[in-house]
Structure 1
Amino acid sequence: MMNDTVEQAQANPDLEQPYASLGLKDDEYARIKEILGRRPTDAELAMYSVMWSEHCSYKSSKTHLRYFGKTTTEEMASKILAGIGENAGVVDVGNGHAVTFRVESHNHPSYVEPHQGAATGVGGIVRDIMAMGARPIAVMDQLRFGPADAPDTQRVLPGVVDGIGGYGNCLGLPNIGGETVFDESYAGNPLVNALCVGTLKVEDLKLAFASGLGNKVMLFGSRTGLDGIGGVSVLASDTFEEGAERKLPAVQVGDPFAEKVLIECCLDLYRAGVVVGIQDLGGAGLSCATSELAASGDGGMSVNLDAVPLRAENMTAAEILSSESQERMCAVVKPENVEKFKEICAHWDVPCAEIGEVTDGKHLVITHHGEVVVDAPAHTIANEGPEYQRPYARPEWQDDVQVYTPVARPEDLKQALLDMVSSPALCSRAFITEQYDRYVRGNTVQAKDADAGVLRIDEETGRGVAVSADCSGRYTYLDPNTGARLALAEAYRNVAATGAMPIAVTNCLNFGSPENPDVMWQFKEAVHGLADGCHELAIPVSGGNVSFYNQTGDVPILPTPVVGVLGVIEDVHHAIGTRVAAGQELIALGETFDEFGGSIWQQISGGGLNGLPPQVDLKNEEKLAKLLNSQAVEGGLIAAAHDVSEGGLAQTLVEMAITSRVGLDVDVTRVHEDAFVALFSESASRMVIAVDPSNAEKVIALAGEAGIPAVSLGTTTAGETVNLGAVQVGLEEISTAWRETLPNMFGHAVGANSVVE
């Protein structure tokens, strides 16, 4: 196929171009012509369109994202080795070790083709971690679907779970946790947020930049094909209409075995010291990798597309540059190291090609079939996309939804308890998580039924990390600022429950269309809530991702700012788990209030979504973290801990009983005189801990000294009854109710792949 060259663009300046169909506005197209001094070529138009898309340029969000920088102190920033703007955040965790982690969305592709959309979401986030010079060591996933019984959820959920499990299991990466949420707002627009964690030595950190005149540009990994053209960069910048599930060509196709080999190849290249700069090829493909490497370096770049290994015939320059074929990386290498680079790639049987070099000036010049098809300032492609000051305003309906309608009080507390634990919101996720390998590589300390995933990163010292990611879209809908703070609080508390001390935050901000002032107000408020909360906790944001246009037609999803928290524990042998043993005393930490706005009880009882979410004082979360961390490091008095969040104290106690196979003899009214409030309120900053009875008074005193309200609830037993004081139920009966919901709903779709306990 013929290319549109720079020479032709100069000779034929008035040629009509399909810029609107590529997502560019009139003024954006005019700006491109102003930059170039002519109309763009087809290849240039493709590059600018994907790099200036919402997904790649953050054009609607960056004006608000700067608030993270304004609220980050020097002390907070000193903990970050690589932060916002890099492929992933990197945090110094001590003793020469660094950890990198990031969470990214792959929402729209996962609706179009659930298996490949989710699988390539995992592959993409893993390559982000690889690009920092790290070995990926674990993944997590944050999933949100429409109602569990909706026909389309029956299509999307099994495919997404199979894609995540299939790709991650083949990579040999443990899946150490996540969330699965069902809500009407996600019908037709599921959220698939993938998180990856990696480790590296501090001195091995790699960044995405092309420097050194004459250094070579090496493309390695899978061959480039037609899959994924217009994929994440375009799909993630548009809304879904009826029939969008037929957009199959835009979804990338993943090969986890190719990525597994690519991981080992990258690590060998790093060890050999032959990489100057590196960038993964994800959204926007070569357009992104070449322009960002060049823009971040100290020169320009020349690229010859004839050298790119292809797996499709007659690809145009625009197609080669826009392809989002998976399992590819781009590196900058000194000329004297090229042969060594090629040798290492050959050892791993990874295709490798020298496609260009670093040049003088600031231009990215790309040729195809001997003709120049791109000649543009690299920084204008990568860094000078438009920045919109989108209108935002507090929605007119916000006051109305914050008017609380008191929830119905059940006459039968036992039935209410069974309804809660068996609801899709709170039931066991074993049906999903058992399809993932949680312990491959041998360094997983906690995953199943844990508040946070815990990994050993140093086998000699036992140093480890804990990771959790959380969010309630229901809370955020009622009050976006508080909702984001509550997401931070829960992820922070989950990490704290393991005995780890939280040290860094990442995020994935999922919202509707930025062209809707209501949505932009939600976004701004959530960003400010999260940034201010991190400032109060003195915990830095190391990076994040924004996903807009999550809506079907003009109906946006619940605002969903997923917050991930990373914590460090000195010795994983002292990590605190959630499992209890018979004969231990249970102590409730924190205060319980009558707070049901946005709660799960409000949802399953038909109370709608109204009121205010639970209020949160992040200093109380910090007190809990310091108490648990001190016990993990030096005390050893706490045998187990489990946070209290969605579903309230009842859910926490039931999960401890079921997963540990013990009975309970407790009285929940010791935390609140109203049994219903005591059972199901979702007040923040609470936790249940288990201790030996001989240590109970000492632990309660320690909590008091730390400013944490503490009360003994009762004990665990060797019996078969879960006695909560206000309600009693058989252990087997409630276990069955908790475990059988998802298998009954989705067992037919996954079949033999599922393992249900």
Structure 2
Amino acid sequence: MTTVLDTVDVAQTSPDAEQPWQELGLKQDEYKRIREILERRPTSAELAMYSVMWSEHCSYKSSKVHLRRFGDLPQETPRGKQLAGIGENAGVIDIGQGWAVTFKIESHNHPSYIEPYQGAATGVGGIVRDIMAMGARPIAIMDPLRFGRIDHPDTARVLPGIVAGVGGYGNCLGLPNIGGELVFDECYQGNPLVNALCVGSLRHEDLHLANASGVGNKIVLFGAKTGGDGIGGVSVLASETFDADGPTKRPAVQVGDPFAEKVLIECCLDLYHAGVVEGIQDLGGAGLSCATSELASAGDGGMSIELDRVPLRDSSLRAEEILMSESQERMMAVVAPAQLDAFLEITEKWDVEATVLGEVTDGEHLVITWHGETIVDVPPRSVAHDGPVYQRPMERPAYLEELQADSTARLDRPASDEELRAQLLQVLGSPNVCDKSWVTDQYDRYVRGNTAQAMPADAGIVRVDEESGLGVALATDCNGRFAKLDPYAGAQLALAEAYRNVATTGAQPLAVSDCLNFGSPEDPGVMWQFSQSVDGLTDACRELGIPVTGGNVSFYNQTGDTAIHPTPVIAVLGVLDDVSRHASSGWQQTGEPVYLLGEARDELDGSQWSAVVHQHLGGTPPQVDLRAEKGLAEALREAVAGGAISSAHDVSDGGLGVALAESAMAHDIGAVINLPGAAFVDLFSESTGRVVVTVPDGEGSSLEAACVRYDVPFAKIGVTGGDSLVITDRFEVPIADLRETHQATLPLALDGR
């Protein structure tokens, strides 16, 4: 950047001045296009804005052409209207009784590798502000996490800090963490995935959108002061591939203050209640560059901003740095002049600094001045919404044919009942199946008193309305191994599992948010994986009749030339009319019949058994029958509502054997199980559309009737009771042994206990 103030006048008279467009991540053709838009060279401040807003993270320039397919999906949920969707800070859906919920999942992957604690903490802070910006009160968070090998030194470096960052920020905000995932795989070595979800509740009339309309309305920046942390932050970090030399951009990672954000939440809710906000935008990726350009672009006029009014923590910051800073805990509001005093009274009450930076104008440009000199004069849509759109080359990876041909059919299967038992325990204690309480015990899951269910249950449940009991269930899922074998099927399997996990509670699944984590978009094989995943998700949502309400794309997740497995993390939200009438994930009573809903097939490719016992990945993933998943969800909802199900646990990672063991360990209640088919396939297959349920005394016929009604296969496979899991004619394992195996892995690996 130039050290002399680079104004619009200077830019017009010095067209050939050298500019660091390459260092800011712009391509030559992108820089040329900026000059064409402005009909001159950009000022250094304009160049800073375009560079962050046209980054992969902010502009979606490689993914836009594919994400448009989500727009063809139904825009209503099975329960009612979608009040806001893709393009807003977060999706908002009607859940009845005048209530709406907003939810979204995003990534903070690269910052969390560089600075684990702050990267993860500010990832939580950012997604919470997205929810706040819709006019909602945040009510819960979730954290799908992925790391490299559990025994790798770099996992020991990043995992404790990331978990502490998620827990530290969320706990200080007073938000329950109701679920997520913890996955270990060598493909994430050097590139952990830190995805964060937040859900909020609001009355319909409290919905707020991000636009700057109404000539003369004031633009108010409020919250924390702007500092030098996070300059270029996530917008640059998320657009680069890491090399083997490790972290090089530590100063770019934002620093969070959860206590400031907690105050900001309450301040925002007071402002909404008082009716003094016309439009609002959080300051996340790209900071002021994003907030000003997006608000102006979505409005009906222009905007003028006096940048020197921005409160600073560091008085040495240049104008370009202020525009690029991603300092946390900041919001920008559009306020009518008549409401300004009331707005400022509320911010003063909460001791939140608020500054009028400018106003909505009757022009068409975003104009930013610095001490009276114009340093930005741009069409806001060219910055915020009309950035570059790439049709990246796509090619089916050459390795895929050989990988899919290498199925588990060639692997040795257990030759005896003793070996069958040993392999069940081996899978149960493996890093991706074992007890995750080493992580989840660091999170407050029940703060605010509205959590009805949390980890290790299949889905988290949180109450929205304390009077009626109306609430929501949420689950996030993705099996990157399945997506590596077949990205189309992998995306559908992720959706099916999250959908099923929500359905096991008795909730009606309503909507999807996604966080699509992939390698470099400049790799034709990665872009093929991405396109296939979007197609898979789009087709599956259409079949299930639910919309994608929003989400996030995270590219460049690779170290050197080695990309992560395609990891399309899918979040599904469902509604419960009364959260007190949900099904739990574990057996709670002795003497109850155990049913298996759905059928097992010989589908072991990509399974935990193949990974743990044989260190193998190959073949084709399990088949997805979305019609069957939909019928299963309807049967579960009807049976839970009618009191015909006392517990329900889906069959997924590890197969039926793991599901039975987890159900038994939940409340130390064993069972005698008669497997309906071949023992090995029944125990370890990861066929979809299966749930283990228990039934209160006398309710078996009601459950069976619901299954018949929705064409769901079912079999009565046993009865609860005792202190062991007994597989009839095969083996038995005391619950104490199951628990010892299940609980030992993470403490031993992560703190040596």
TM-score interval (norm. to shorter): over 0.9
Query: Which of 628, 634, 652 matches 1:626?
Result: 634
Closer, same or farther in 2 for the Cα pair 1:663/1:78, shift >3 Å?
closer
SS at match of 1:338: helix
Give 1:647's aligned amino acid: G
Shift of 1:398: 1.4
> What is the 5 A alignment of 1:175-324?
175-324=177-326
Give 1:608's aligned amino acid: H
| d(CA) in 2 for partners of 1:453, 1:463 | 14
Shift of 1:606: 2.4
Indicate conservation of the 8 Å contact 1:148/1:424, yes or no. yes
Give 2:178's aligned amino acid: I
Task: Verify: 1:399 aligned to 2:401, yes or no.
Answer: yes
Closer, same or farther in 2 for the Cα pair 1:74/1:687, shift >3 Å?
closer
Give 1:51's aligned amino acid: M
Hey, what does 1:15 align to over in structure 2?
A: 17
SS at match of 1:270: helix
Shift of 1:168: 0.1
SS at match of 1:20: coil
| d(CA) in 1 for partners of 2:496, 2:672 | 29
Hey, what does 1:552 align to over in structure 2?
A: 559
| d(CA) in 2 for partners of 1:605, 1:12 | 67
Shift of 1:496: 0.2
Hey, what does 1:452 align to over in structure 2?
A: 459
Task: Verify: 1:161 aligned to 2:140, yes or no.
Answer: no
Give unpaired runs (5+ residues) of structure 2. none
SS at match of 1:244: coil
Task: Verify: 1:587 aligned to 2:591, yes or no.
Answer: no
Hey, what does 1:472 align to over in structure 2?
A: 479
| d(CA) in 2 for partners of 1:746, 1:75 | 42
Give 1:636's aligned amino acid: G
Hey, what does 1:707 align to over in structure 2?
A: 711
Shift of 1:701: 3.6
Give 1:161's aligned amino acid: V
Give 2:580's aligned amino acid: H
Shift of 1:73: 5.9
Query: Could you list the per-position Cα deviations for residues 73-124 of structure 1 after superposition, in whole angstroms to 9, with x for gaps in the alignment?
Result: 6777962110001100000111110000000000000000100000000000
> What is the 5 A alignment of 1:466-615?
466-580=473-587, 581-615=589-623
| d(CA) in 2 for partners of 1:282, 1:477 | 31
Task: Verify: 1:57 aligned to 2:64, yes or no.
Answer: no
Indicate conservation of the 8 Å contact 1:295/1:362, yes or no. no
| d(CA) in 1 for partners of 2:93, 2:728 | 42
Closer, same or farther in 2 for the Cα pair 1:650/1:83, shift >3 Å?
same
Task: Verify: 1:687 aligned to 2:691, yes or no.
Answer: yes
SS at match of 2:511: strand
Hey, what does 2:68 align to over in structure 1?
A: 66
Query: Could you list the per-position Cα deviations for residues 408-434 of structure 1 after superposition, in whole angstroms to 9, with x for gaps in the alignment?
Result: 212311110111010001000011001
| d(CA) in 2 for partners of 1:133, 1:596 | 46
SS at match of 2:23: helix
Task: Verify: 1:443 aligned to 2:450, yes or no.
Answer: yes
Give 1:166's aligned amino acid: G
Query: Could you list the per-position Cα deviations for residues 270-300 of structure 1 after superposition, in whole angstroms to 9, with x for gaps in the alignment?
Result: 0010000000000000000000000000010
SS at match of 1:689: strand
Query: Which of 125, 128, 149 matches 1:126?
Result: 128
Indicate conservation of the 8 Å contact 2:30/2:388, yes or no. yes
Hey, what does 2:646 align to over in structure 1?
A: 639
Closer, same or farther in 2 for the Cα pair 1:604/1:480, shift >3 Å?
same
Give 1:39's aligned amino acid: R
Q: Which moved more, 1:406-415 or 1:646-655?
A: 406-415
Closer, same or farther in 2 for the Cα pair 1:367/1:244, shift >3 Å?
farther
Hey, what does 2:374 align to over in structure 1?
A: 372
| d(CA) in 2 for partners of 1:137, 1:518 | 39
Query: Could you list the per-position Cα deviations for residues 426-465 of structure 1 after superposition, in whole angstroms to 9, with x for gaps in the alignment?
Result: 0000110010000000100000321101111111111111
Hey, what does 1:754 align to over in structure 2?
A: none
Shift of 1:71: 3.4
Indicate conservation of the 8 Å contact 1:408/1:607, yes or no. no
Give 1:611's aligned amino acid: G
Hey, what does 2:46 align to over in structure 1?
A: 44
SS at match of 1:253: coil
| d(CA) in 2 for partners of 1:408, 1:599 | 14
CA RMSD of aligned residues (A): 1.3
Hey, what does 1:737 align to over in structure 2?
A: 741
| d(CA) in 2 for partners of 1:109, 1:677 | 42
| d(CA) in 1 for partners of 2:76, 2:662 | 41
Give 2:594's aligned amino acid: L
Query: Which of 445, 458, 461 matches 2:468?
Result: 461
Closer, same or farther in 2 for the Cα pair 1:544/1:721, shift >3 Å?
closer
Shift of 1:605: 1.8
Give unpaired runs (5+ residues) of structure 1. 752-757
Give 2:623's aligned amino acid: Q
Query: Could you list the per-position Cα deviations for residues 537-576 of structure 1 after superposition, in whole angstroms to 9, with x for gaps in the alignment?
Result: 1011111110000000011100000111010111111111
SS at match of 2:699: helix
Give 2:550's aligned amino acid: G
Query: Could you list the per-position Cα deviations for residues 465-519 of structure 1 after superposition, in whole angstroms to 9, with x for gaps in the alignment?
Result: 1011100011011111111110010000000000000011110000000011100
| d(CA) in 2 for partners of 1:454, 1:725 | 38
Query: Which of 385, 388, 401 matches 1:386?
Result: 388
| d(CA) in 2 for partners of 1:75, 1:183 | 35
Closer, same or farther in 2 for the Cα pair 1:244/1:2, shift >3 Å?
farther
Hey, what does 1:755 align to over in structure 2?
A: none
Q: TM-score, normalised by structure 1?
A: 0.97
SS at match of 2:698: helix
Give 1:617's aligned amino acid: D
SS at match of 2:315: coil
SS at match of 1:278: strand
SS at match of 1:126: helix
Give 1:178's aligned amino acid: G
Shift of 1:225: 0.3
Give 2:91's aligned amino acid: G
Hey, what does 2:420 align to over in structure 1?
A: 413
Give 1:101's aligned amino acid: F
Indicate conservation of the 8 Å contact 2:175/2:448, yes or no. yes
Query: Which of 354, 363, 382 matches 1:361?
Result: 363
Matched residue count: 745
Hey, what does 2:81 align to over in structure 1?
A: 79
Q: TM-score, normalised by structure 2?
A: 0.97
| d(CA) in 2 for partners of 1:705, 1:284 | 52
Indicate conservation of the 8 Å contact 1:50/1:284, yes or no. yes
| d(CA) in 2 for partners of 1:189, 1:534 | 29
| d(CA) in 2 for partners of 1:110, 1:447 | 24
| d(CA) in 2 for partners of 1:698, 1:210 | 55
Query: Could you list the per-position Cα deviations for residues 612-658 of structure 1 after superposition, in whole angstroms to 9, with x for gaps in the alignment?
Result: 1000111111111111111233x101110000001000010000111
Give 2:437's aligned amino acid: A
| d(CA) in 2 for partners of 1:294, 1:564 | 31
SS at match of 1:102: strand
Indicate conservation of the 8 Å contact 1:640/1:689, yes or no. yes
Hey, what does 2:145 align to over in structure 1?
A: 143
Q: Which moved more, 1:420-429 or 1:78-87?
A: 78-87
Indicate conservation of the 8 Å contact 1:588/1:713, yes or no. yes
Q: Which moved more, 1:153-162 or 1:5-14?
A: 5-14
Give 2:6's aligned amino acid: D
